[in-house]
């Protein structure tokens, strides 16, 4: 399984001879743009979304329509994208389903989920989520945007997580120290910090994170946008 980071919360996972995008915010994502990533050059079989905020929904509609990729999201967000003409599969928190590309379960996330309409008013789109993704015997946990929450203990008990992607940018989500607390409960083999240094409110000293994570025995990889790791 090859996992490529596009900055912020966006990843491409290549597994089972399929390509799966998670939260493909490319256009307007300074990290992706600096790395020369272009939304119209990305191909995939499926797009997994944690919630409807623009920095996660990103280029989903354009990529899904161009490629025919199946968008897997919580119910209201899936229906919103279906109305825009995307192929979707709706799910709910706690539900698990096998697809050709792998198995998906949506988990709790403590956050919100909305899109801003043409009048600047938020339209609510149901529950935000985290994602457990399993394929080729590997387990990923993409936490989406979330506060620290104690049910991460259950996620850690029920899954042997090979790689956790955890937000660390603070302000809208956990900061670095809460992400370290999360590691104690999730017990992943590895962690990649996400959702930091994209915009002024989420600036952190990311170089401090690996040493902070090390205290829990978890190795942290600070991935450069455009770079990959293999599980």
Q: Which does 138 bind (CB under 5 to 8 A by kind): Mn ion, Ni ion, none?
A: none
Q: Which does 170 bind (CB under 5 to 8 A by kind): Ni ion, Mn ion, none?
A: none
Closer to Ni ion by Cβ: residue 153 or 197: 197
Q: Which of the residues 133 through 162 are near Ni ion (CB under 5 A)?
A: 145
Cα 219 from Cα 154, distance rounded (Å): 21
Choose, by CB under 5 A, the member of 145, 164, 182, 209 that binds Mn ion: 145
Closer to Mn ion by Cβ: residue 15 or 50: 50
Contact 87, 70 (CB under 8 A): yes
The mark string for 39-68 relative to Ni ion (x by CB under 5 A, - otherwise) is --------------x---------------
From 97-105, 116-124, 137-145, 204-212, give the range in contact with Mn ion by CB under 5 A.
137-145
From 75-83, 114-122, 139-147, 148-156, give the range in contact with Mn ion by CB under 5 A.
139-147
Closer to Mn ion by Cβ: residue 53 or 187: 53
Cα torsion angle, 113, 115, 57, 45, sign: positive
The mark string for 22-61 relative to Mn ion (x by CB under 5 A, - otherwise) is -------------------------------x-x------
Picking from 111, 115, 136, the residue whose alpha carbon sits closest to that of residue 124 is 115
Picking from 116, 145, 111, the residue whose alpha carbon sits closest to that of residue 126 is 111
Cα 201 from Cα 125, distance rounded (Å): 24
Cα 78 from Cα 28, distance rounded (Å): 23
Residue 211 parent element (H or E): helix 209-214
DSSP state of 224: P
Instruction: State the greatest distance between any 2 C-alpha atoms of the chain, in Å, as a whole number.
Output: 48
Number of residues in contact with Ni ion under rule CB under 5 A: 2
Which residues would be at the binding site for Mn ion (CB under 5 A)? 53, 55, 145
């Amino acid at each position: 399984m090859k996992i490529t980071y596009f900055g912020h919360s966006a990843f491409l996972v290549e597994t089972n001879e399929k390509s799966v995008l998670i939260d493909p915010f490319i256009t307007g994502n300074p990290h992706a743009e600096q790395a020369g990533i272009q939304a119209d050059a990305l191909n995939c079989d499926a797009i997994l979304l944690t919630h409807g905020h623009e920095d996660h929904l990103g280029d989903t509609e354009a990529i899904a329509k161009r490629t025919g990729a199946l968008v897997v999201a919580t119910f209201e967000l899936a229906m919103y994208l279906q109305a825009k003409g995307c192929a979707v599969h709706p799910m709910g928190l706690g539900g698990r389903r096998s697809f050709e590309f792998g198995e998906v379960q949506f988990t709790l996330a403590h956050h919100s989920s909305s899109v801003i309409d043409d009048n600047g008013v938020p339209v609510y789109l149901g529950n935000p989520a985290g994602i457990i993704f399993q394929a080729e015997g590997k387990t990923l946990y993409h936490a989406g945007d979330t506060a620290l929450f104690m049910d991460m203990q259950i996620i850690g008990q029920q899954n042997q997580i090979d790689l956790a992607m955890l937000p660390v940018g603070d302000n809208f989500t956990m900061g670095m120290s809460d992400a370290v607390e999360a590691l104690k409960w999730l017990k992943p083999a590895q962690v990649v910090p996400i959702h930091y240094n994209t915009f002024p409110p989420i600036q952190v000293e990311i170089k401090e994170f690996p040493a902070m994570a090390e205290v829990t025995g978890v190795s942290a990889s600070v991935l450069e946008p455009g770079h990959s790791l293999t599980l």
